[in-house]
């Protein structure tokens, strides 16, 4: 098969997306990925399927001799896009790597699905299922054919700052006895999502699959230790225990002791497994320790587990708890019952008197007080969460039944976006700054703390902006790069990148409805190469339908300009249906008619930036405004002239009346004088 068909930018998957329909299945009997790789729906592969992805046989048209298989991940879960992008950098190590990936029209679901194509691993898994029994592997076989190839793989993964998180006997394959082992895929679901909890370190095993987090290679080393134990015994030594009971035993006596209580590994392998399964990640073997042992047989055992136990256990929930972790676990499992307990000083007194740990007692007291960086008020729930973190600082974030490692907030946000109750608890946990409190309790500031701090900061930023393009939906897409857009508008589309989403928007565009719902806006904001937060803020704060339409057009035009597709004719047609509103800011009737004609010419090309340039051109708007201002000034001048003429006429009438009256008085006075004179003259005569 050719080199990995992976792209530098996820939006450049295939130019085919610009021309083919984005919604609905293609009329083909055999679905094909980019016309090259055929997938066979009638040939499922249960042995290669996972809890979250179905496996099917696949055929490369160019080289049918290649043995391939394809996985279709759950569209409601983010697959590991970052791991896929780094797959080509792993080199020649013992792990299944993707050869192609993309979107495919899948007949069984009637929608587009993400498809991951792999070389089919040689042979069968080391164990068909976790609870099956097999012939125990010999120590040399485990050393040479399991530990050596896995150590090389984990070393390369560590260099790429990745973790496998799927190492277990059912996901390890080999062609036959004496052959080296190859690790199965780890790309189709969030890290640790499909991993049985008994292969997870205790702190991640406390979390539901979605909250276990990205993890580090040290988590893979623990899983490798458990795997070696199973293979050395040929069975699952704790098969009779449910997850809850096993977790309780692990908290009480340590993971290695709990797993080996009913079956001991061979003596020369025991120190290796014990060192790999150490519950303290700082004391657990490193990859270098494993390589040294596999190469030269030197096993520098990890330090023995030190677990401080109190003589007098803390009585709670019908049990007596003798260690900090035991009590923390009991509190988290019985949240409502634990709240009134932490309001008293009972835990502090137990820490000081029974554990003989005054520093811990003081830290528990300080849980009640806010700091400059913390929330102003400490609620009962937050006090309990802080108490649990103080008792077990290596454990997960625990808040009202929600457990998550700080690097597992992304997948947890995806669950919260689909459930209002989970969203409320998630929002309160983040806003109470519990992540920051957890980080303060860490003795070693590692990658986990920095990842959690960065993710929490992002979440706080976006939760503080409730408008479309922000909120919990934005958190989902910011923290899960492999998450398809979950908008309910796209029931038949699985859009993982902007190009696919824009094509789907165009295919389903209808006049009279907004094209931007909360998920679409948030997806565009998170996937855009740069920032369109200003445009999203403008859309969220639109005061009128005109403002909202124009803001929406600006968002789509910006996205198309940078990400494509090059033509979006249906979205452009929808814009034409609102031209009267969009052109209403222009006052010049003739200009509006001219702009309408130009817009109608541009729209069929499907180029939204050009259409936006016609409808909302700053230069044209300024010219129209200046022209309107001139017309308004001219209108006012004409008004003043008319008023002046009207005033002039009114003043002329008044002057005529005054003059007439004066003239009449003058004339009458003259006539009167004449009469008087005549009378006087008549009297004289």
Percent of the chain exceeding pLDDT 90 equals 67
pLDDT tens digits for 462-506? 998 989 999 999 999 999 999 999 998 888 888 999 999 999 999
Residue 665 scores a pLDDT above 80: no
- Predicted confidence band of residue 445 (pLDDT cuts 50, 70, 90): low
Residue 373 banded pLDDT, cuts 50, 70, 90: low
Cα distance between residue 209 and residue 84, in whole Å: 21
Query: Is residue 463 a contact partner of residue 471, using CB atoms and an 8 Å limit?
Result: yes
**Do residues 151 and 93 make contact, with C-beta atoms less than 8 angstroms apart?**
no
Q: Looking up tokens 């009279």, which residue turns up?
A: 512
**What pTM did the predictor assign?**
0.85
CB-neighbour burial class of residue 471 (10 A; exposed 0-12, middle 13-18, buried 19+): buried
- Mean pLDDT along residues 521-536: 96
Find the mean pLDDT for residues 72-94. 92
Tokens standing for residue 480: 């899960």
CB 237 within 8 A of CB 229: yes
Q: At residue 452, does pLDDT exceed 70?
A: yes
Stretch 629-649: mean pLDDT: 76
Contacts of 623 (CB under 8 A, 6+ apart): none
For residues 512 and 565, the model is more confident at 565
Strand (E) or helix (H) holding 264: none
At 540-599, the pLDDT tens digits run: 999 888 899 999 999 999 999 999 999 999 999 999 989 999 998 888 889 999 999 999
- For the chain, which domains are there? 10-119 (3.30.200.20), 132-180+191-296 (1.10.510.10), 314-438 (no CATH), 498-616 (no CATH)
Cα–chain-centroid distance for residue 452? Answer: 14
Q: What are phi and psi of 581, to 5 degrees?
A: -75, -45
Distance CA(70)–CA(463), nearest Å, equals 37
Is 436:374 a contact under the CB 8 Å cutoff? yes
| Strand partners of residue 71 | 55, 116
Please state, in angstroms and rounded to a whole number, the distance separating the CA atoms of residues 212 and 227. 19
Helix extents (H) in 358-470: 358-366, 380-391, 409-417, 420-431, 434-440, 447-463
């Amino acid at each position: 098969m050719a080199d990995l068909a992976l792209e530098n930018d996820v939006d450049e998957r295939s130019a085919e997306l610009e021309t083919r329909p984005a919604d609905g299945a293609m009329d083909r009997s055999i679905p094909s990925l980019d016309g090259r790789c055929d997938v066979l729906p009638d040939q499922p592969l249960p042995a290669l399927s996972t809890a979250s992805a179905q496996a099917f046989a696949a055929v490369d048209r160019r080289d049918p001799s290649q043995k391939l298989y394809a996985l279709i991940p759950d569209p409601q879960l983010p697959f590991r896009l970052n791991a896929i992008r780094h797959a080509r950098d792993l080199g020649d190590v013992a792990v299944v790597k993707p050869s192609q990936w993309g979107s495919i029209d899948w007949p069984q679901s009637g929608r587009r699905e993400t498809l991951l194509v792999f070389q089919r691993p040689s042979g069968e898994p080391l164990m068909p299922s976790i609870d099956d029994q097999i012939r125990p592997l010999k120590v040399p076989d485990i050393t040479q054919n399991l530990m050596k190839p896995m150590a090389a793989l984990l070393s390369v993964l560590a260099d790429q700052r990745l973790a496998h998180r799927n190492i277990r006997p059912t996901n390890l394959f080999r062609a036959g006895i004496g052959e080296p082992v190859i690790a199965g895929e780890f790309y189709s679901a969030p890290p640790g999502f499909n991993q049985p909890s008994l292969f997870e370190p205790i702190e991640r095993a406390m979390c539901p699959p979605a909250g276990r987090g990205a993890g580090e290679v040290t988590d893979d080393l623990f899983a490798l230790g458990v795997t070696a134990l199973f293979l050395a015994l040929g069975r699952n030594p704790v098969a009779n225990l449910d997850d809850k009971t096993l977790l309780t035993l692990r908290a009480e006596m340590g993971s290695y002791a709990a797993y080996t209580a009913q079956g001991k590994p061979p003596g020369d392998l025991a120190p290796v497994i014990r060192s790999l399964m150490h519950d303290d990640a700082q004391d657990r073997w490193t990859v270098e320790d494993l390589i040294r042992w596999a190469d030269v047989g030197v096993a520098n055992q990890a330090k023995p587990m030190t677990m401080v136990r109190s003589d007098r256990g803390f009585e709670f929930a019908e049990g007596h708890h003798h260690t900090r972790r035991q009590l923390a676990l009991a509190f988290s499992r019985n949240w409502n019952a634990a709240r009134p307990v932490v309001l008293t000083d009972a835990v502090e007194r137990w820490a000081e008197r029974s554990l003989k740990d005054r520093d811990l007692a003081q830290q528990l007291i300080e849980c009640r007080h806010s700091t400059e960086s913390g929330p102003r008020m400490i609620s009962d729930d937050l006090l309990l969460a802080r108490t649990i973190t103080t008792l077990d600082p290596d454990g997960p974030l625990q808040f009202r039944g929600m457990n998550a490692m700080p690097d597992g907030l992304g997948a947890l946000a995806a669950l919260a976006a689909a459930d209002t109750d989970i969203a409320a608890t998630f929002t309160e946990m983040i806003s109470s700054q519990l992540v920051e409190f957890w980080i303060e309790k860490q003795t070693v500031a590692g990658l986990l703390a920095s990842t959690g701090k960065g993710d929490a900061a992002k979440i706080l930023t976006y939760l503080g902006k409730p408008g479309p393009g922000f909120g919990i939906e934005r958190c989902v897409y910011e923290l899960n790069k492999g998450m398809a857009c979950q908008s309910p508008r796209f029931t038949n589309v699985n859009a993982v990148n902007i190009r696919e989403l824009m094509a789907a928007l165009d295919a389903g565009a209808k006049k009279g409805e907004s094209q931007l719902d909360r998920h679409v806006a948030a997806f565009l904001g998170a996937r855009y190469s740069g920032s369109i937060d200003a445009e999203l803020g403008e859309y969220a704060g639109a005061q009128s339908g005109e403002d909202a339409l124009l803001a929406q057009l600006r968002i789509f035009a910006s996205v198309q300009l940078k990400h494509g597709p090059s033509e979006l004719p249906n979205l452009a047609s929808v814009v034409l249906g609102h031209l009267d509103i969009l052109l209403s800011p222009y006052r010049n009737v003739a200009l509006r008619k001219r702009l309408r004609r130009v817009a109608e010419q541009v729209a069929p090309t499907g180029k939204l930036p050009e259409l936006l340039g016609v409808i909302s051109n700053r230069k044209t708007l300024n010219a129209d405004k200046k022209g309107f201002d001139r017309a308004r000034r001219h209108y006012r001048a004409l008004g003043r002239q008319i008023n002046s003429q009207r005033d002039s006429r009114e003043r002329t009438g008044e002057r005529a009346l005054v003059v007439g009256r004066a003239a009449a008085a003058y004339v009458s006075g003259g006539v009167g004088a004449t009469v008087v004179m005549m009378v006087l003259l008549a009297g004289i005569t």
